[in-house]
Amino acid sequence: MRVLVQRSLNSNVSVDKKIVGKIEKGLVLFVGFTEGDTIKEIEYLVNKILNLRIFDDEKGIMNRSILDVKGNILSISQFTLYADTKKGNRPSYAKALNSIKAKELYKIFNEKLNEYIHTETGIFGAEMLVNIQNDGPVTILLEKEGIDDKKQNQF
Strand 72-77 with 62-64, pairing: unpaired
Nearest 5°: phi and psi at 48?
-60, -45
Q: Which of 55, 79, 119, 121 is catalytic?
A: 79
Q: Which of 6, 33, 34, 78 is catalytic?
A: 78
Q: Give the 3-state secondary structure of residue 118.
A: coil
Residue 154 designated active-site: no
Residue 80 designated active-site: yes
Residue 121 designated active-site: no
Alpha-carbon distance of 69 to 64, in angstroms, equals: 7
| Residue 136, Ramachandran bin (φ over 0: left; ψ between -120 and 50: alpha; else beta) | left
Residues annotated as catalytic (active site), given as ranges: 78-80
